[in-house]
Structure 1
Amino acid sequence: MKYIEVVANTGSSATVLAIAEKVKAQDFRLGIVGEDGMQQMRLIVADDKLQITLDALQNVLGAQPTARILILPIETSLPKLAEEERSQEDSATAAREALYEEIAKSARFDFNFVVLIILSTIVATIGLIENNIAVVIGAMVIAPLLGPNLALSLGIALADISLAWKSARTLFAGILLVIALSAGFGIIWPSNITNYLLMSQTEAGFESIALALASGAAAALSLTTGLSSVLVGVMVAVALLPPAATLGFMLGHNNPDLFISAGLLLIINVVCINLATIIVFFIKKIRPRTWLEKKKARYVMLIYILGWLVTLTILIFIIYTRHSLVT
């Protein structure tokens, strides 16, 4: 459940009450009217009705510049919900605005992002060189490159081209920074490049596609259902940092064959994560609020999905060709 507090002109109370009745709010209260003519109104709604409620409130209160809508989570409600209501709550989708606030921060190419990239690249590269899987997993959990991928798909789902471009730039810049740093390690750190962990990041197969698709879908599902703790497992399951670090390391070692193989795995992960997340956002009905924006989002999303599908088809053909040549 969510606690929604509305502060709006007192003349809007009847309209807000109608919205509360339409979404079957579990409680609706009117507060006192202030000297400025503004009135506090309180609703308690189920999670699966939250987005509908917010869209309706924004539509009717959009012309009031001083109106405010506040949303607070309700940790406990007594008496307890019936089992049927609880299962409905658990399956609800996170509100679009809350999802945007959480994911959009990952699209920023700022000081914190750069520091995380540098630290995680150092950790990942040393772990790969030393064949230490625990160290590599530590770098995976930091996962600074997963956020821009999720933000990119969300930007497309909401037809927010500004967010999509910002996310794409952050992702591209982050990958370039990882490659540059790890290439430096490859130049100055003489090492045996045939250990298990390094070689595992140069093996791109059909199973890599399946893993990346499943993990990308899990990441989007964990965010839309409010189960962000699941993301830790996703970060480990489909990590972008190790193949990017391996790509740079092989570049520094001047090994073009392994450089291409690591690059192929990195591209597979990026493509599959974005394809899976946009499909999950579509299924979970993450849409813009207005009809015009929804129409634009459908068009942009169609082009986006088709582009990733074509890219994935090309990658599958490349993998098949490489395997055929080996066998």
Structure 2
Amino acid sequence: MNKLTSLFNLHEGEDDREKIFESVKKNISYRGANLWILACAIIIASIGLNVNSTAVVIGAMLISPLMGPIVGAGFALGVYDFSLLRKSLRNLLNSTLVSLTVSTVYFFASPFKDVQSELLARTSPNIYDILIAFFGGIVGVIAVTRTEKGNPIPGVAIATALMPPLCTAGYGLATWQLSYFLGAFYLYCINCVFIGISTFFIVKYLGYPAVKQVNEKQQKQVRISITVLIIAMLVPSSYLAYSLYRQQQFAKNTNDFINDEFTKKGYTVVYKKTDYNTNPKLLELAFLSKRFEKEEITRLENQINQNKYLRGTHLVIRQDSTDRLRALKGDILNEIKSTENEIDQKDLRIVALEKQIAQNTFDNQKLLKEAQAIFPKITSLSVSNHSMATAKDSAFVVTAVIYESPEVLPAVDNEKFRNWMNQRLSVKDVAVFRRVVPPAPQPTTNKLGKKAKK
């Protein structure tokens, strides 16, 4: 028994009580450095919540001095120092107002007002937050009473998280979202109350003497006040924890229902929507190809009502009254066929045009330069294909070469030019023509020797 008692003995390693008490009193006040640290910690935490940075939020928790007046209030209750209790509560109220003001101003001025996961995590407190605050407060107070403070205090600051709920409450005020403000501020109150209560219990366990003689009536008032605070925090948080449990069970059983009734049977779910907060709860689904008859839907609804977590859920399966899938498939196939026919007709026209262009396209500029190198008298040149119609309703293509020159080419040169064009154009028989350029009209003069006007 003695070994078990010594195992849980908190007196071993305990610091001088007068020294501890003075340290607690000193950390209550928010003046000078403490006030600067508090304001900066609030801004850092607000920025962390705003940009959804967990690391920044943790940093703000580590430097926050908000634990001082809460621990002071717990100590004051434990030793029945009502003067210290009033001072602690007054400083806690002042620090809370300063923190709310700073965070509200920051979020009001910030251009980024989207709700992030770090913000949402502080808007729905439950029984688990009470447990964290209570046991975290116990660890923190034990660390305060030790000669060697060790590492628990930074961990307590992170676990109990006083700063982020205050900043979230400021966000709720800045954006006029009352639910966020109430949820976050309730979480802050939970942390404050249960850290203070855990401090009270440890102080009582360590046997700190009362600062003055108090009668039974005053002690009873303290016990009643603590009991009322515990109940006031426990009842709403227990209800919220139960609601959270029900919501998680609804999500889990919904997924199990979809998996058992549809996925395992090969039905592809293309759309799913669930809503726990509507009355009745909602499960809305749509499928890739499966269509459900009225009898099947009735069977599924009965299956839902047999599950205690899904009972009363309204099942909605999105599908038309006609078989739109087959109609849509037919429309698509008809459209594809029509498009293919149009493409075939266009392709034929393009091929014909390309062939026509290819047959009648010659680089006349290049041919002229080559021809002038051999026949300098040629001044211009044109080559093109011509379709010649016959009396027998047939046609054939003739490659015609038209050139201009100041004088007619000699017969030898003309034959040489025609043979060269056959070789150059890779044809058998070109038709060569010389275009006669009419002489330019000469100006006439009147009797006075002046040019006549036309």
Q: Partners of 1:115 and 1:285 in 2: how far apart? A: 35
Change over 3 Å in CA distance of 1:117–1:320 after alignment to 2: same
Match of residue 104, structure 2, among 170, 180, 183: 183
Q: Which amino acid aligns with 2:21?
A: Y
Is contact 1:156–1:301 with CA below 8 Å preserved after alignment? no
> What per-residue deviation string (whole Å, max 9, x for no partner) do you get for residues 75-109 of structure 1?
xxxxxxxxxx9x98972432220111111101113
- Corresponding position: 1:257 with 2:160: no
Match of residue 200, structure 2, among 275, 278, 295: 278
- Corresponding position: 1:172 with 2:106: no
- Corresponding position: 1:156 with 2:77: yes
Q: Partners of 1:297 and 1:207 in 2: how far apart? A: 36
Q: How far apart are residue 312 of structure 1 and its match?
A: 2.2
| Structure 1 residue aligned with 2:16 | 95
Match of residue 221, structure 1, among 138, 142, 147: 142
Is contact 1:94–1:225 with CA below 8 Å preserved after alignment? yes
Q: How do 1:1-327 residues align onto structure 2 when only pairs under 5 Å count?
A: 91-229=12-150, 230-288=152-210, 293=212, 295-296=213-214, 300=218, 302-322=220-240, 327=246
TM-score by length of 2: 0.49
Is contact 2:127–2:241 with CA below 8 Å preserved after alignment? no
Q: How far apart are residue 256 of structure 1 and its match?
A: 0.6
> What per-residue deviation string (whole Å, max 9, x for no partner) do you get for residues 55-87 of structure 1?
xxxxxxxxxxxxxxxxxxxxxxxxxxxxxx9x9
1 or 2, which has the higher helix percentage?
1
TM-score by length of 1: 0.67
Q: Which amino acid aligns with 1:241?
A: M
Q: Partners of 1:298 and 1:308 in 2: how far apart? A: 15
Is contact 2:10–2:206 with CA below 8 Å preserved after alignment? no
Q: Which amino acid aligns with 1:105?
A: K
Q: Report the secondary structure of 1:247's partner residue.
A: helix
Q: Partners of 2:192 and 2:50 in 1: how far apart? A: 23
Q: Partners of 1:221 and 1:246 in 2: how far apart? A: 29
Q: How far apart are residue 111 of structure 1 and its match?
A: 2.0
Q: Partners of 1:162 and 1:89 in 2: how far apart? A: 27
Is contact 1:268–1:312 with CA below 8 Å preserved after alignment? no
> What per-residue deviation string (whole Å, max 9, x for no partner) do you get for residues 158-181 of structure 1?
232222211111111001100011
Q: Which amino acid aligns with 1:287?
A: P
Q: Partners of 1:198 and 1:113 in 2: how far apart? A: 25
Mark the runs of 5 or more structure 2 residues left unpaired by the alignment: 1-5, 247-454
Q: Partners of 1:88 and 1:210 in 2: how far apart? A: 23
**Which deviates more from structure 2 when the two are superposed, residues 192-201 or residues 145-154?**
192-201
> What per-residue deviation string (whole Å, max 9, x for no partner) do you get for residues 135-166 of structure 1?
11111011211011111122222232222211
Q: How far apart are residue 252 of structure 1 and its match?
A: 0.6
Q: How far apart are residue 130 of structure 1 and its match?
A: 0.7
Q: Which amino acid aligns with 2:228?
A: V
Structure of higher CA gyration radius:
2
Q: How far apart are residue 187 of structure 1 and its match?
A: 1.3
**Which deviates more from structure 2 when the two are superposed, residues 248-257 or residues 222-231?**
222-231
Change over 3 Å in CA distance of 1:155–1:320 after alignment to 2: closer
Q: How far apart are residue 232 of structure 1 and its match?
A: 1.3
Q: What is the number of residues matched between the two proteins?
A: 238
Q: Which amino acid aligns with 1:281?
A: V
Mark the runs of 5 or more structure 1 residues left unpaired by the alignment: 1-84
Q: Which amino acid aligns with 1:316?
A: L
Q: How far apart are residue 215 of structure 1 and its match?
A: 0.5
Change over 3 Å in CA distance of 1:90–1:284 after alignment to 2: closer
Q: Partners of 2:79 and 2:174 in 1: how far apart? A: 40
Q: How far apart are residue 263 of structure 1 and its match?
A: 1.1
Q: Partners of 1:323 and 1:137 in 2: how far apart? A: 24
Q: Report the secondary structure of 1:296's partner residue.
A: coil
Q: Partners of 2:223 and 2:41 in 1: how far apart? A: 30
> What per-residue deviation string (whole Å, max 9, x for no partner) do you get for residues 296-326 of structure 1?
2876555334323212212222234445667
Is contact 2:124–2:240 with CA below 8 Å preserved after alignment? no
Q: How far apart are residue 266 of structure 1 and its match?
A: 0.7
Is contact 2:15–2:145 with CA below 8 Å preserved after alignment? yes
Q: Partners of 1:89 and 1:319 in 2: how far apart? A: 31
Change over 3 Å in CA distance of 1:300–1:223 after alignment to 2: farther
Answer 1 or 2: higher relative contact order, Cα 8 Å, separation at least 6. 1
Change over 3 Å in CA distance of 1:288–1:193 after alignment to 2: same
**Which deviates more from structure 2 when the two are superposed, residues 88-97 or residues 303-312?**
88-97
**Which deviates more from structure 2 when the two are superposed, residues 99-108 or residues 159-168?**
159-168
